[in-house]
Amino acid sequence: MAQSNTAVVKTEPQSDSLNPRTHGYEFFGPPGATAVSIGVPFLTYALFFGCNEKTGCPPSFELAKLNVQANLTNLDWWASLWDTQAALIYLGWYAFCVAAWFVLPGDWVEGTTMRNGQKKKYKINAFSTFLLAMGGTAGYITRYGPSSFTFLYERFAGFATAALLMSFVQACYVYWSSYQSGALLALGGNSGNVIYDWYIGRELNPSIGSFDIKSFNELRPGLILWALIDISMACEQATRLGGWPTASMLLVCTFQIFYVVDGLYNEPAILTTMDITTDGFGFMLSVGDLLWVPFVYSLQARYLAFHPTQLGPAGVAGVLATNALGYYIFRAANGEKNDFRNGRNPKNLQFFTTESGSKLLTSGWWGFLRHPNYLGDLIMAFSWSLPTGFNTPITYFYFVYFFVLLVHRDSRDDHNCHVKYGKDWVKYKKIVPYTIVPYVY
């Protein structure tokens, strides 16, 4: 690991040949980008207003119709979306994450080589930021009791609005700054269409000095907030029950916080993901990182806060087994590929060498499916919804959404691999015909 506190930052303006015009759109171009930009916040609020204690989860069709009609013309309802206190607390939370990035020690690790030949360095201290936040929260709850940490439940919509504003402001700032710096742009984000580039991300690595805005947002303020929201939901439920949270709440919180810890602890692993190496930073990532992840992924815990579900020993065992199976596949598949891409092959897996010189595994998990890690991830996602029981389909939203996201992500990766490997990729697809679900898809 590199031990330095200087990061490679944009030095020279990049030439036009390094920053070619983007031809061809993803997400159905500007109309699609507009639809997603409006749809993501809309759906986040809809999941809140369509699944809460007052209206039910989901509300009956008649009630939903009445609510929509009443609220669209009701100024109080619109005003309820804004909560000054929640906005100030959110700002404090964001400032805490930035301060922790600066203050907490961490190794500086090099990312992959960019197309200008440079490597950027990233400070790795997301996990210590998490530990500090958790330590502070645990101390606070121990001192003042669970009822003191229910404000994320009570002011949920206000916090969501604050996060939405933060993601909007950041997307505007990085779009504007991409024109000031002459920096390296994302190959997909330089179409010249304002809406599309603002959404997809124009600049590859927007930074302020050595502070990399994209990787910071990927792991810290949204992901750790997700864990804090879950804890707040457990506190709300415990306060209502006058004791401990239920087993189902503990399972959901444990699984999700473990998932967050896994991502934060393995922070360097994000440096090779498509988000960091290929995508620019625009509204797509900022709203995903700051709004969507914490406020939608915590839906199961929020539901359990006002609708406690009891699981018997068999239910607990079933949920635990489902999660363990998913985690095993997820880790084993990612481990095989990571080992292989780092020059190790401890299981003596079969592979073939492509014309580009890179190798592709054809046995083990990667000989079984083209994205075995996605399958593991999906099984885990299912186990997060199971503890909520079968009273409502809404708590299974995350699983369905995640399936759609991974299918879409697979199509993007498939396209990239076709470009990278040509007929070798066609050969691999013949050897391994299924992508995520064995013998189905």
Residue 110 contacts ligand NDP per CB under 6 A: no
Binding mask 321-360 for ligand NDP (x = CB under 6 A): ---------x---x--x--xx----------------x-x
Q: Which is nearer to ligand NDP, 131 or 417 (CB)?
A: 417
Specify the stretch interacting with ligand NDP by CB under 6 A; choose among 139-147, 161-169, 279-287, 413-421: 413-421
Interface pick for ligand NDP out of 107, 110, 339, 413 (rule CB under 6 A): 413
Among 205, 217, 256, 373, binds ligand NDP (CB under 6 A): 373
- Helix (H) / strand (E) element for 406: namely helix 397-421
Q: Which helix (H) or strand (E) holds 344?
A: none
Minimum Å gap between C-beta 125 and ligand NDP is 21
Using rule CB under 6 A, residue 361 touches ligand NDP: yes
Binding mask 129-168 for ligand NDP (x = CB under 6 A): ----------------------------------------
The number of beta carbons lying within 10 Å of the beta carbon of residue 345 is: 15
Which of 90, 374, 384, 398 is close enough to bind ligand NDP by CB under 6 A? 374
Task: Please tell me the total number of residues recorded for the chain in this structure.
Answer: 441
Mask for 273-312, x = binds ligand NDP (CB under 6 A): xx--------------------------------------
Count other C-beta atoms under 10 Å from residue 229's C-beta.
23
Cβ distance 346 to 332 under 8 Å?
Answer: no
- Find the residue with minimal CB distance to ligand NDP: 373
Q: At what angle do helices 397-421 and 299-306 cross, to 10 degrees?
A: 180
Q: How many residues bind ligand NDP (CB under 6 A)?
A: 19
Amino acid at 138: A
Backbone phi and psi for residue 291, each to the nearest 5 degrees, phi listed first? -105, -60
Count the neighbouring beta carbons within 10 Å of the beta carbon of residue 256: 21
* Cβ(189)–Cβ(280) below 8 Å: yes
Least separation in angstroms between CB 340 and ligand NDP? 6
CB neighbours (10 Å) of residue 194? 11
CB-CB contact of 195 with 30 (8 Å): yes
In the list 21, 409, 415, 423, the residue contacting ligand NDP (rule: CB under 6 A) is 409
CA 284, distance to chain mean position in Å, is 11
By beta-carbon proximity to ligand NDP, the closer residue of 240 and 427 is 427
Residue (of 239, 9, 221) closest to 141 by Cα position: 239
| Secondary structure (3-state) at 109 | strand
Residue 218 binds to ligand NDP (criterion: CB under 6 A): no
Tokens of 229: 């929201």
Q: Which is nearer to ligand NDP, 310 or 342 (CB)?
A: 342
Please tell me the distance from the alpha carbon of residue 202 to that of residue 282, in angstroms, as a whole number. Answer: 7
**CB of 266: closest distance to ligand NDP in angstroms?**
10
In the complex, the residues that contact ligand NDP under the rule CB under 6 A are: 273-274, 330, 334, 337, 340-341, 358, 360-361, 366, 371, 373-374, 377, 409, 413, 416-417
